[in-house]
Structure 1
Amino acid sequence: MRDDTPLAEPTRRDYLTYGGALVGGGLLAGCTSGDIGETTTSSTETTSTSTTTTEDESYTVTMSPMGEVEFDAVPETIFTRLTHLAGMAFALGRGDDVNALHAPDYYDALWNQFTPRLPGVDLDWSGRYSSWEPSKEKLYALDSDVHLADPASVFALDDWSTADLDEIAQNLGPWFGNTFSSAHKRPPSEWPGDYEYYTLWEQFEKVARVFRDHERYEALAAIHDDVLARIEADLPAEADRPTVAMGGFSDPSAPYVYNVDTPGFLTAHVRPFEPRDAFDDGVTSASRIDTETLLEADPDVILVFGGLHPTYDMADIRAALEDDPVASEVSAVQNGRIYAQGARYQGPILNLFQLEMTAKQLYPDAFGTWPDYVEGPYPELPADEQFFDRQRVADVIRGEF
C-alpha cells in the first residue's frame, strides 16, 4: 500500500473475549536471556523520563498503551509495523536491524530518496516481511527481540486477541509502540485501559530509551529544536499564509486528501507552519474527492504525498491537473504551486527534511525557494539554504558524534 492512500483499519470481530493478562503484565515481558519471567525487580535509579535501571542491568521504559515495559538487554532484532517506528530505528543507527515493516519495498525506495543527502548513511529495507497484517506464525519465525508496534493497533486486527499479544510478548519480545497518536484516534472500544497521545519526538525519546541510546536522541532533538526555532522566528503573519490541500494524487482526478491542521504526528511537518486548511470542516482526512470539490476549496498550494517516490512522475501529475477542465481552474494549478512530499508515517530524519521542504514550499519569500522538483532524490540545496547540517545528522545516525 502506497503512502498516498489511507491505511484501511481492519474491522474488529463483533465479540471478543479477553482476560486480565494484558493489564496485569503480559505485555510487559522483557527481552530475556534465560527463562521467561526471571528478571529482577530491585530498582536503584528512576529518571524523570519514565526509565528505570535495576541492579543487574535490566531496565524499564514506560509508554502508553503498554505501560511499564521491562528489558533485560538492549534489543538486537527489531520488528516494526509502521514506518514512523522503523524510521526511529533508522535514526538510532539500527535501520538494518529492522526485519519487518509495512510495504517494505515501497518505503525502502522512498527513504532512499533522502539518504543520498546523508554522507555515509546506507539503508536497505527491500525484501523485509510486509507486516501491515502480521501473522503470529510469522512473528515466531522472525523471533524478534522487540516489536516496535502498538499492541492496541494489532488488537484491532480480526485475527488477534489479547491472549495472542501476551503470548508473543512473553515468548519472544515485548510490544512497544503508539500508532493512534498519528491523528489522535481512539483504539478499539474493547481495548482495556486508557490511551495517551505523544508527538513524534516524544515517542522517539521513549524508543531511544528502549535501545539505551538517549545521547543520539538528544543530538537529533537539538537539531529539531533549532529547525523549529528558525521556523518560528520567520513565520509570516496569519494573513499571509496560504490555503493548503495535502493528499495523494496518484489518480489526479480523484485524490485522497488530508487536513493539514489536525493533531497527531501525521501532520508534524506542516502544523508548525500554521497553514490554513483548504477544506475547513467540509472534508475530513482520508476522504476521496473529485476535481469539483478541489476547485470549490481552491487551495493556494497542493502538497503531493509520495511525490518524492521514484515511481511517481510529478510532471505527469502536474500535466494531468493542468489538462483537466475543472482542476485547471484551481489557484495552485494555475500558479504552479504543486509540490512533492514524502511520507505521512515519517520518522525523525524524514521529519527534519520535510520541515525544511515544507517551509520553502509554503513560504518561499521567508525561507527560500523550493527547487522545481520533477524526479530523483531529495534536491541538493546550497549550504546557506539548508535548515540543518547534513553531515551532523549523518554523524549522529552512524554514532560518530
Structure 2
Amino acid sequence: MGAVTFDSPPETVFTRLTHHADMAFALGRGDTVTAMHAPDYYSGLWNQFVERLPGVSLDWTGLYSSWEPSKEKLYELDSDIHLADPAWIAKQDNWGREDFAEIATNVSPWFGNSLSDRHAEPPSGWTDYEYYTLWEQFELVAEAFQEQARYEALAAIHDEMRSTIDANLPPESERPSTVMLAAADIDEIYAYTLDNPGFLTAHTRPFGARDAFEGSVETNSVVDFETLLAADPDVILHLGGFEPSTSLPERREAFKSDPVGSEITAVQNDRIYPQGARYQGPILHLFQLEMTAKQLYPDQFGEWPTYTEGPYPEIPSEEQLFDRQRVADIVNGEI
C-alpha cells in the first residue's frame, strides 16, 4: 500500500495472524490488540510459553476473530494501525483495492506482510510485493511503533542464539531425518516441510535436519502411516503439541498402538516432540529455536525434557539458550 506515516506511535492494534500479534506483544502492546484469528485458541497456546517469562502476562481471549474481517467491523474497532497484510486479505472476494484505501484513509493505515510466510504468489495487481524475513518484518513494525530499542535488544538475543546454533551444528551426515506433522485426529495427518523459504520455517530451517520425505511430499499434504513408515523419520515434530487441549500422550499412544505406526523409528525411540505454531513472532520464535535445537540435537544443545502437558518445560538456567528474565524485561519496557 506504499509508504505510511503515523503522527504518534499506534496505541490500538488490529491483527489477523499471530506473527503480527506476537510482534505487538514483544513491543509491549499485547494488551492493545483489538483482533486476531482464533483469539481464544492462540491465547491459550501463547500462554504456554509466556508462563516462562517472569512478570509478563497475555490475554487475547474474547477478541474479534479476524480471519475474514468486514469493513464495518474495522470501522467499529477503530484501531490505530492495521497490522495485517492487505494482499492476503485481497484473496477474499469481498475486498478490493478501493476498500483497503477507504479503511486506510478513514480509520488507519495497513502495515503488515503475510505472504512472506512461504513466499506465496501475491494476487494480481500486487506486482511490487516484497518478501521479508521474520526479523526484517519485526524491525519495520518496531519503527512504526517507535520502539527501535526494544527491537534491537530482542534482535541481539536472537543473533546470539543463532551464532550459538550455527557454531554447534553437527555434520550433515549426523543429522536426523525429520518430519513435521499436525493431526486433529490420527485419521488425517498433515505433513509440513522444514526448509522451504519463508518465516513459517524460521525455527526449523536453520538446523539443516534431513527431510525424511526427501522432497517427495509437499507441505500441507495429507499422509498416512504407510507413507510415514516409508520415510521412516528419526524425529517427528508435532505441530500444535503445546496447545492446551491437545493430549500429546494420546498422540504418541496412537502411533505406538498402530501396527504400521509403531514401526517408525521416531516412535520406537520416543522422539515425537511438541511444537507450537508456524505463524510465529519474535517471542515464540526464541522459544521454538531453543526447543527445536534440543529436540534435534540433544548432544549439542542439551536434552529436551519429556513433555506431556502444561507450559513450556522449565529448563535449568545453564542449559537455556536465551535468558528468560532478559526477554521479560524487554517486553515490560525495562531495556
> Is 1:142 the counterpart of 2:77 in the alignment?
yes
Aligned to 1:373: 307
Give the distance between the partners of 1:253 and 1:367, measured in 2 at CA: 34
Aligned to 2:101: 166
> Is 1:384 the counterpart of 2:318 in the alignment?
yes
Q: Aligned residues, how many?
A: 335
Query: Unpaired runs of 5+ in structure 1?
Result: 1-65
Give the distance between the partners of 1:216 and 1:306, measured in 2 at CA: 28
The answer on whether the counterparts of 1:270 and 1:355 sit within 8 Å (CA) in structure 2 is yes
Aligned to 1:315: 249
- Structure 1 position 116, deviation (Å): 1.2
> Is 1:108 the counterpart of 2:46 in the alignment?
no
Aligned to 2:186: 252
Aligned to 1:301: 235
- Structure 1 position 277, deviation (Å): 1.2
Aligned to 2:126: 192
| Aligned mate of 1:243, from 151, 158, 177 | 177
> What CA deviation, in whole Å up to 9, does each residue of 1:82-122 have, x standing for no partner?
00000000000100000100100000000000111101100
Give the residue type in structure 2 aligned to 1:354.
Q
Aligned to 2:68: 133
- Structure 1 position 303, deviation (Å): 0.3
What aligned pairs does 1:116-127 form with structure 2 within 5 A after superposition? Answer: 116-127=51-62
The answer on whether the counterparts of 1:254 and 1:291 sit within 8 Å (CA) in structure 2 is no
What aligned pairs does 1:1-400 form with structure 2 within 5 A after superposition? Answer: 66-188=1-123, 190-400=124-334
Give the distance between the partners of 2:68 and 2:187, measured in 1 at CA: 30
The answer on whether the counterparts of 2:87 and 2:126 sit within 8 Å (CA) in structure 1 is no
The answer on whether the counterparts of 2:228 and 2:264 sit within 8 Å (CA) in structure 1 is yes
Give the distance between the partners of 2:203 and 2:117, measured in 1 at CA: 12
Question: Which is greater in Rg?
Answer: 1
Give the distance between the partners of 2:60 and 2:112, measured in 1 at CA: 19
- Structure 1 position 73, deviation (Å): 1.6
CA RMSD of aligned residues (A): 0.8
The answer on whether the counterparts of 1:146 and 1:174 sit within 8 Å (CA) in structure 2 is yes
- Structure 1 position 281, deviation (Å): 2.2
Give the distance between the partners of 1:262 and 1:252, measured in 2 at CA: 25
> What CA deviation, in whole Å up to 9, does each residue of 1:269-303 have, x standing for no partner?
11110111112221101111111111111111000
Give the distance between the partners of 2:226 and 2:277, measured in 1 at CA: 26
TM-score (norm 1): 0.83
Determine helix, strand or coil for the equivalent of 1:247: strand
Query: Unpaired runs of 5+ in structure 2?
Result: none
Identity %: 64
> What CA deviation, in whole Å up to 9, does each residue of 1:208-241 have, x standing for no partner?
0010000000000000001001101110000010
Give the distance between the partners of 1:202 and 1:247, measured in 2 at CA: 27
Give the distance between the partners of 2:278 and 2:272, measured in 1 at CA: 17
The answer on whether the counterparts of 1:152 and 1:191 sit within 8 Å (CA) in structure 2 is no
TM-score (norm 2): 0.99
Give the distance between the partners of 2:181 and 2:10, measured in 1 at CA: 36
- Structure 1 position 158, deviation (Å): 1.1
- Structure 1 position 385, deviation (Å): 0.3
- Structure 1 position 192, deviation (Å): 3.2
Give the distance between the partners of 1:348 and 1:227, measured in 2 at CA: 13
Give the residue type in structure 2 aligned to 1:244.
T
- Structure 1 position 194, deviation (Å): 1.4
Give the distance between the partners of 1:259 and 1:192, measured in 2 at CA: 26
Give the distance between the partners of 1:314 and 1:270, measured in 2 at CA: 20
